Chains A and B, each alone.
Chain A
Amino acid sequence: MSLRDGPFQDLKVPLRWTAAVAVVVAIIIGLALVFGDRRETLQGHAAVATRGAFDRMARPVGGVLSAPVRWVSDAVGGIGDYFFAVSENRRLKQEVADLRHWRDEAIAYRHENDRYEALLGLKTEPPIPMVGARVIADVRGPFAQTRLADAGVEDGVREGNPVMNEHGLVGRILGVANGVSRILLLTDVSSRTPVMIDRTDARAVLTGDGSGSPTLEYLRGANPIKAGDRVLTSGDGGLFPRGLPVGVAYQGLDGSWRVRLDSDDGPIDPVRILLFRDFSQLANQPALRATTIPPLAPADAAAVAAEANAGSSSPAASSAHPAVSSHPAVSPRPPVSSAHPVATVAASSAHPAHPDSSARHPPPPASSAHPVTHAATASASTPAGAAP
């Protein structure tokens, strides 16, 4: 007997009830989507692939829509340039005159800085390659503030890469696909960026809230900030390089510290994506370890060798400074000669588990307070033929 012939043959469920059931099912689907999504993390998952596929489809549409906008913007800019050419020319001449002084100072500082780096053997951060891109979609709502840029996987863009415009930090790459990548703006409610106050070196977390000016949270210390302080990325956590300009601090009406973003001063259209990864991955580690430390002058080397020899003749000398042997900075190299027993002891016992510690710890300056340390360092770092 079929249902049609049974006692339920005249049963008709009102459409309002079935619609209500459909609403309940749809709400369950919505909740499953909410709790299954991991937008804020950088780990790959199925939703990332879905977003990537959607962004790839949205790219041509966004490109077509943004092109006329760009043309109109360029045209309006051109008209403005025509009418304000004289005043702009005067302003630029004044600016060039001011900047010439700063250029000379910058050149002098750069030379001085290069000299200090060479003297101290500092391992500076390598330059970061960049990719230029154009924004083809801009989202400005309270729940999401993102942009689509027309550079993707084939350009080397990866999730987490910082994005800047000509004035300052814009955000970071949230997802990337072929030919397109999505930028999470600093103002997005899920954005958290480790920053520091340039004047006091105080650390904070820049937290987006969907407004144009993100807040500074977890500020520490007594009076760590005042209005007008410059805010830079701190580099903590390794997601951003240190020192990227973010903005200027001010106190909001609610008493919270906020940042007026530098990137708001420029057009939103062109951006630069920094192909930044953790510097420890970018740097050529074997090349860093192979760096040679310049030898001492002959007179200094002789004095150091004599000092070391004198130290080796007294057995107490090797145990006079127990702290020295455990100091990481005294063992830049394995021992090169058995003629310096103190150096051998210090160098071999300093960090048995980290023979390459020279890459991270430069040797101490020549005016070390511990003669044994000095001897150990000098003898271990001096090539055998350099000493007389």
Chain B
Amino acid sequence: MTFTPGGTQRLDPLIWLGLPLLAVIIPTVLLAAPIRIFGLGLPEPVFALVLAFAWPAIRPSMFAPFLLVLLGLFLDLLWGGPLGLWPLALVVVYGLVLAIRPTLTGRDGVFMWVWYAVACLLAFGVGVVVTLVKDDHAPSLISLFWQYSVTVLLYPFADRLIERFEDADVRFR
């Protein structure tokens, strides 16, 4: 954390952008391991949606959307999906949260969790639209619901990130 000439605190991008980015990439790669337990695969949540929700809630940034594009591109390449699906979905979520940021500021956990679920729904909606455009076929609702559910359960991580950095830069409180 650094200080501006005016004496206010300024967030170090490496701390609030870089480290969470790394923390998202590691479990994503870990859960891509070929594991079956009693014939069932491991859940595959979209950890990146935690950042797409938490970053704009902490403070607006010019770098964050482009980092989300890179993160989405990483997901597309790692998972072998259509290029652009996750960059688009993550940035759309970032844009939504940026737009409703005044509404979210100072709200309690349940309210934020509901908005996080709405943001995830939007991201999966973008994914469905992209899949329909690319493949002319919608993905299975059961498969969508499964991944959506485990992704919504990740909200405590987003909450922890917001709590950690929300008051760090007083200019955006």
Residues of A within 8 A of B (CB): 15-16, 18-20, 22-23, 25-27, 29-37, 39-40, 47, 50-51, 54-55, 58, 61-62, 65-66, 69, 73, 135-144, 146-147, 174-175, 182, 184, 189-190, 207, 209-211, 264, 267-269
Contact = CB atoms under 8 A, between A and B. Distances in A.
Given A16-B98, A141-B44, A209 B91 contact: no
Given A65-B33, A184-B80, A140 B61 contact: no
B119 interface: no
Contacts of A37: 82-84, 134
B82 A34 contact: yes
Interface of B: 29-30, 32-36, 39, 41-42, 44, 56, 59-66, 68-69, 72-73, 76-85, 87-88, 91-92, 94-95, 98, 101, 127, 130-131, 133-135, 137-140, 142-144, 146-147, 172
Given A34-B83, A142-B144, A143-B85, 10 more contacts: A15-B61, A18-B62, A19-B60, A20-B95, A26-B65, A34-B85, A61-B29, A62-B33, A137-B33, A139-B81
A147 B83 CA distance: 16
Contacts of A135: 34
Contact of B84 (A31, A50, A209, A211): A31
Nearest to B78: A58
Among B32, B60, B95, B101, max chain A CB count under 10 A is at B32
A30 B135 contact: no
Given A58-B78, A139-B32, A139-B44, A210 B84 contact: no
Contacts of A26: 65-66, 68-69, 87, 91, 94
Given A29-B87, A66-B33, A66-B34, A143 B127 contact: yes
A142 B127 contact: yes
B143 A141 contact: yes
A33 B73 contact: yes
B35 A69 contact: yes
Given A29-B69, A47-B83, A174-B80, A210 B88 contact: no
Contacts of B62: 15, 18-19, 22
A33 B84 contact: yes
Interface on chain B toward A: helix, strand, loop, or mixed SS?
helix
A211 B82 contact: no
8 contacts: A22-B64, A34-B88, A65-B32, A69-B33, A136-B34, A182-B80, A189-B139, A210-B139
A207 B84 contact: no
A75 B154 CA distance: 32
Contacts of A58: 77-78
A141 B35 contact: no
Contact of A34 (B29, B33, B134, B146): B134
Given A23-B95, A39-B83, A209 B127 contact: no
B134 A190 contact: yes
A-B interface, 9 closest residue pairs, ranked by CB to CB distance from nearest:
A33-B84, A144-B81, A30-B88, A146-B80, A34-B84, A211-B140, A19-B60, A37-B83, A210-B139
A36 B84 contact: yes
Contacts of B30: 65
A214 to B, nearest CB: 10
B136 to A, nearest CB: 9
B44 A140 contact: yes
Nearest to A174: B80
Given A30-B91, A139-B79, A143-B127, A209 B139 contact: yes
Given A19-B64, A31-B88, A269 B34 contact: yes
Given A30-B84, A50-B77, A138-B33, A189 B137 contact: yes
B66 to A, nearest CB: 6
B110 to A, nearest CB: 26
